Amino acid sequence: MKAHLITYGCQMNEYDTHLVESQLVSFGADMVDSVEAADFVLINTCAVRGKPVDKVRSILGELRKLKAQRPLVVGMMGCLAQLEEGQQMARKFQVDVLLGPGSLLDIGQALESNERFWGLQFKDELHGHIPPPPAGKLQAHLTIMRGCDHHCTYCIVPTTRGPQVSRSPDDILRELDMQLAAGVQEVTLLGQNVNAYGIDQGAKLAGYPSFAELLRLVGRSGVRRVKFTTSHPMNFTEDVAAAIGETPAICEFVHLPVQSGSDRVLRRMAREYNREKYLTHIAQIKRHIPDVVLFTDIIVGFPGETEEDFQETLSLYDEVGYDSAYMFIYSPRPGTPSYKHFTDLPREVKTERLQRLIARQKEWSARKNAAKVGTVQEVLLRGDAHDPAFLEGHTRGNHPTVVPKAYGVTGPGIYSVRVDQATPHMLYGKLVDAQGQPLPELPRLNPEAAALTSPLQMA
């Protein structure tokens, strides 16, 4: 069998794709990198907003055409597969295999079956299963929990991924050990709400650690860098900030989605915190982690959001001074309470607010990144940049960073880099030695690269 996987959605979906891919390989499948070369195409889907759903619909349409021309098995997995919306699509486009996020390990059974196979249960055995570490990569994801027990009124995720189930610390540390043995230097702990790790009923009965304790355990494992995503402010504790501040391996990076700066909107979203409570968490984070890099998620144009509400989001942005943000236009999702009970705002109102918010984010990112010029950052260089005379990577605070090879770096790894230029999206710098001194420039191997005096000229 020649299998091709297409992934939409968040990092949890990327992790799940890797899990299913490792299963397919163990059944003897060859992984191929195009639809044309495949006889099995599996799409890992996302349903969080309308856009990723539309994309899946259009790909399924293309695949149905292909199916009429040659033998082809089409599969759909992940969040959209769990929803009635996705199942209708699957029927319409003649999907053969459908696996919800809790039934991924049914892939073997699905492929053996000669009929249409649909697996839609939330099964806990998924947690006992450890995919092999990604080959030759310095970075890895590690899922520490599945599902979500919150009920934000706009969000489909609790329906697609089911209730929260924490993974056992033994499983987590065993997977981490395998990743370390394979050369992984940066691990990102994943969950819809990692702060709530260990508080579901099963986890409590089993005596699992809190998230802060888990962070300390992972931080002592020998891994160079630890990150995590995402945190719900409701379950954030000061101990998490303390654990980050005191554990050298845990990166000074916190992604704490706020969604809105207005108490009225937060209440209608059922976020279970208000502006003041959120700002208390931010103050604790800044106290324990002085150099913290702060990211957030914001939804603009939630039903009933007034201009005043939106102004409160802008003022909260300034009050926190985020390094960057993921910003979304509210997208009504069938099956969510806000879809059912509230009226969507006009499209133009939502887009216009998004533009203003993006402008604010750019100002702050420009200011924050400019302040990094002259500092030495620890950069994980992944591999060649667009221009092969440069390597690309990211800092402990997730700033994308570009470094010329000419200054003593030849391959992927973690290096000290002095930042010499910055844009709102990118840092540029050169390697330094242990004393923070620039390394001498090496003779350039590539004459074209030598013509570039500044990496900014590439853009």
| Footprint on this chain of ligand F3S (rule: CB under 6 A) | 9-10, 12-13, 46-48, 78-79, 157, 160-161
Beta-bridge partners for 427: 401, 422
Count of C-beta atoms within a 10 Å radius of residue 345: 18
The answer to whether residue 331 forms part of the interface with ligand SAH (CB under 6 A) is: yes
Cβ nearer to ligand SF4, comparing 4 with 232: 232
Beta-bridge partners for 399: none
227 binds, among ligand SF4, ligand F3S, ligand SAH, none (CB under 5 to 8 A by kind): none
Determine if residue 10 is labeled as part of a ligand binding site. Answer: yes
Cβ nearer to ligand F3S, comparing 230 with 401: 230
The span from the CA of 76 to the CA of 274, in Å, is 38
Cβ nearer to ligand SF4, comparing 272 with 420: 272
326 CB-near residues (< 8 Å, 6+ apart):
295, 296, 297, 298
Least separation in angstroms between CB 271 and ligand SAH: 9
Determine if residue 46 is labeled as part of a ligand binding site. Answer: yes
Give the one residue of 43, 97, 110, 157 binding ligand SF4; rule: CB under 6 A. 157
Which positions from 300 through 329 interact with ligand SAH, judged by CB under 6 A?
328
Give the one residue of 32, 94, 120, 158 binding ligand SF4; rule: CB under 6 A. 158
Determine if residue 155 is labeled as part of a ligand binding site. Answer: yes
Please report how many Cα atoms fall inside a 13 Å half-sphere around the Cα of residue 68, on the Cβ side. Answer: 6
Least separation in angstroms between CB 153 and ligand SAH: 9
Sign of the C-alpha dihedral, residues 378, 241, 232, 218? Answer: positive
Span interacting with ligand SAH, options 114-122, 148-156, 209-217, 238-246, rule CB under 6 A: 148-156
Cβ nearer to ligand SAH, comparing 157 with 406: 157
Cβ nearer to ligand F3S, comparing 101 with 131: 101
Least separation in angstroms between CB 159 and ligand SF4: 9
427 binds, among ligand SF4, ligand F3S, ligand SAH, none (CB under 5 to 8 A by kind): none
160 binds, among ligand SAH, ligand F3S, ligand SF4, none (CB under 5 to 8 A by kind): ligand F3S
Which positions from 394 through 453 interact with ligand SF4, judged by CB under 6 A?
none
240 binds, among ligand SF4, ligand F3S, ligand SAH, none (CB under 5 to 8 A by kind): none
The span from the CA of 193 to the CA of 158, in Å, is 11
Which positions from 184 through 203 interact with ligand SF4, judged by CB under 6 A?
192-193
The answer to whether residue 166 forms part of the interface with ligand SF4 (CB under 6 A) is: no
416 CB-near residues (< 8 Å, 6+ apart):
376, 377, 378, 379, 431, 432, 433, 434, 436
Least separation in angstroms between CB 325 and ligand F3S: 16
Least separation in angstroms between CB 148 and ligand SF4: 3
Query: Where does this chain bind ligand SF4 (CB under 6 A)?
Result: 148, 150-152, 155, 157-158, 192-193, 232
Query: Where does this chain bind ligand SAH (CB under 6 A)?
Result: 48-49, 148, 154-155, 157, 192-193, 230, 232, 257, 259, 297, 299, 328, 330-331, 333
Q: Which residues are annotated as a binding site?
A: 10, 46, 79, 148, 152, 155
